[in-house]
Amino acid sequence: MPNRLANETSPYLQQHKDNPVDWYPWGSEAFAKARAEGKPVLLSVGYSACHWCHVMAHESFENAATAALMNEWFVNVKVDREERPDVDAVYMSAVQALTGQGGWPMTVFLTADGKPFYAGTYFPPEDAHGRPGFPRVLEAIHDKWESEREQIIGSAESIAAHLREASERRPEGSAELTPELVDNAVQVFRDNFDAVWGGFGQAPKFPSPSNLEFLLAYHARTGKEEWVPPGSLELVLHTLHRMATGGMFDQLGGGFARYSVDERWLVPHFEKMLYDNAQLARLYLHAFQVTGDPECERIARETLAWMEREMLDPEGGFHAALDADSEGIEGKYYVWTAAEVEEALGEDAALFNDWFGVTEEGNFRDPHHPELVGRNVLTRWQDPEVVAVQFGLAVPELEEKLANLRARMLEVRDRRVRPGLDDKVLTSWNGLALGAFAEAGRVLGEPAYVERAEGIAAFLRARVWSGERLLHTYKAGRAAVNGMLEDYAYLGLGLVELFKATGELAHLTWATELFEAILANFHDDQHGGFFETAREGETLLLRQKPLFDGPTPGGNAAAALLGMWLARHHGRAEWESYVREVFNLVHDHAVQAASGFGALWLAAEFLLAPHREVVISGERAAREPFEREAGRRYLPFLVIAPTSDGEGLPLFEGRRVESGAQAFVCEDMVCNLPVSDVGAFRAQLDSLAR
């Protein structure tokens, strides 16, 4: 018989509705039961695409004997970390404080008032790999609870006090945000760069798009490639090339996996997340603007195509994630044996296998299924000139042939059992997708991308916006959970991109309303920075400030970036101050641990960059050639205001035209003469780029 999770919309919680565990969703009912029965709470946090979450579910939560122990001794609460990132962040800080590491599944034991006293991540069903078996953990905690309850409660109080103190970050003086300080941060990335395989540090490797965006913007501002190699541009381009040619990128269907388990970007953790792909599509788009490399354009387009093909909700938003597993086996949907390729392609298999690195031995091993051998993650590490000669083809013929083989193999793969889809729609991640499609449409001159972005905005406005506040998640006709800082900030940034792509002032107006809501409901007026949750939100153990980047930009950096864009559009210089304010909260860590603050360093780049504006005034059709010209260049902090009606925008004062279109290019408040000719406009933009 299904448990209480059957009434939830979260696909992750639905995965657990038939467990023999008496699960509760997060809420007051569970904690009231714990108080009434004198039991501790067992909090389990995960997400639908998490491989090890599935493993622990199969081993423990589906085991009747283990479930009986959980039900007898604990009140069990299951949380989807993507649906409740605020709850996840609070208790992840506890896991990290108690164990020195974190991850999912997250397992935390709490008192009835939500204070943690014991924590971990994955526990096996029996003692193994240096970890105690989960039943033994349950029994030990139950015994301690019965015999030493007062000590446990006292310990939980101390842990909670420590967590509160650690979360109450206050500015330690004022740090001047100088170009030299940014130079030092870049040097940290240079010191940790993997010159062979790209990326930073050792395995596992994450794409970290915020860091790469910062380095690209730094290069645009400074051009300091004369430094000791590698220069900041090389750090980015080498990493992007390695990611796109390894197994991180789906060589058949497009889109990126969440991370690589090795330093070579060869074997991914196969789950695909909306947030990674939205950010990486824009990053490759920016690399295309810088280099003109058609490979960067191809990767951006194929990533967006994967999002539209596999992640689009019928109502217009985008779903959250694809699972790593299919048929209970990680990566089964994506990997190939040489025999499978030969069966699908016949005599063409030799070319496919050579190009995509498929061998009889295979390059992927699953420790859970050692019987599965000879399986290959597809890579694209070959030199096309060498392969073309080997198979007696010209390079254009080779490329055409490979495109055909990819399409044929994708058709075969489409007949396999697909990975599970997490079909909830998250406001924050859709804000990232909105920005990606809007900018792709502007840069590539593709109206269909802009239309997709407009569809995302319309969906979010209709489904998760009340006119005053946002909700965080939507599924099956139900919007739920009060919006968090990332929802307001990411959506606001996406709307700024949509304004730049369309000139529709309503998008900029909505972005401004979202930022004003951030200032009213999330800002710490006493110590600076922004809280993750709004003032009127649910009271949790901690009210944290998201200062560090995860796989998505830190909420504080994103809010500060939004303030920068709107300050420039509206002439509100005071809104620029939030970059310095946030920086003052973390300056003691930001240089030494630069990789945790890429989005904040990007905001710092914006603050240091010259004030540059392009106003393109006129009707949309007349503006299009000018907008297309502006989109060709990587000018990351160029304020672009294309509109026929700039009522209320200081940028448009005295710059309206009655017919045709005119472009105004300004830098540091000094404007060139307006131009009506695209060639003259091109020359002015070239001078900005220089």
- For each of the domains in the chain, give its residue range(s) and CATH number, in order of start: 4-167 (3.40.30.10), 201-422 (no CATH), 611-690 (3.40.30.10)
Q: Is 171 left (phi over 0), alpha (psi -120 to 50) or beta?
A: beta
Give pLDDT, residue 370.
Answer: 85
Q: Is the dihedral of CA 443, 441, 497, 482 positive or negative?
A: negative
401: nearest Cα among 338, 340, 347, 337: 347
Q: Is 362 left (phi over 0), alpha (psi -120 to 50) or beta?
A: left
Residue 54 and residue 44: Cα distance in Å, rounded? 12
Chain-centre distance of CA 231, in angstroms?
25
Kindly state the tokens that stand for 308: 């539209």
Q: What is the pTM of this model?
A: 0.95
Q: Which residue do the tokens 């090389």 mark? A: 234
Coil, helix or strand at residue 466: coil
Residue 291 and residue 487: Cα distance in Å, rounded? 32
Kindly state the tokens that stand for 587: 């300056």
Give pLDDT, residue 217.
Answer: 96
Kindly state the tokens that stand for 687: 């001078």
Instruction: Report whether 641 contacts 614 (CB < 8 A).
Output: yes
Kindly state the tokens that stand for 347: 């005599």
Give pLDDT, residue 225.
Answer: 60
Kindly state the tokens that stand for 565: 């864009």
Strand partners, 479: 474
The three-point CA angle 135-136-142 to 5° equals: 90
Give pLDDT, residue 226.
Answer: 47
Residue 303 and residue 313: Cα distance in Å, rounded? 17
Q: How many CA atoms are closer than 13 Å to the CA of 322, on its beta-carbon side?
A: 26
The three-point CA angle 588-578-473 to 5° equals: 100
Q: How many CA atoms are closer than 13 Å to the CA of 62, on its beta-carbon side?
A: 10
Residue 635 and residue 71: Cα distance in Å, rounded? 58
Low-confidence ranges of the chain (pLDDT < 50): 226
- Angle, in degrees to the nearest 10, between helices 179-191 and 232-245: 40
Looking at residue 591, the DSSP 8-state letter turns out to be: T
Residue 623 and residue 371: Cα distance in Å, rounded? 61
Helix ranges restricted to H, 74-178: 85-99, 134-147, 149-167
Rg (CA), the chain: 26
Kindly state the tokens that stand for 501: 């792509």
Residue 46 and residue 4: Cα distance in Å, rounded? 17
> E-strand spans in 407-562?
421-422, 425-426, 471-475, 478-482
Q: Which residue do the tokens 């040489």 mark? A: 338
The long-range contacts involving 473-476, CB below 8 angstroms and separated by at least 24 positions, are 473/9, 473/10, 473/82, 473/83, 473/424, 473/425, 473/426, 473/427, 474/317, 474/424, 474/425, 474/427, 475/9, 475/10, 475/11, 475/423, 475/424, 475/425, 476/9
Which residues, including other chains, have CB under 8 Å from residue 337's CB and lie 6 or more apart? 358, 362, 374, 375, 376
* Strand 478-482, strand 471-475: pairing: antiparallel
Residue 474 and residue 625: Cα distance in Å, rounded? 38
Give pLDDT, residue 660.
Answer: 85
Helix H or strand E encompassing 356:
helix 349-356
Q: How far is CA 636 from CA 51, 353, 601, 612, in A?
A: 37, 40, 13, 10
Residue 424 and residue 656: Cα distance in Å, rounded? 43
Residue 416 and residue 295: Cα distance in Å, rounded? 29
User: What number of residues does the chain have?
Assistant: 690
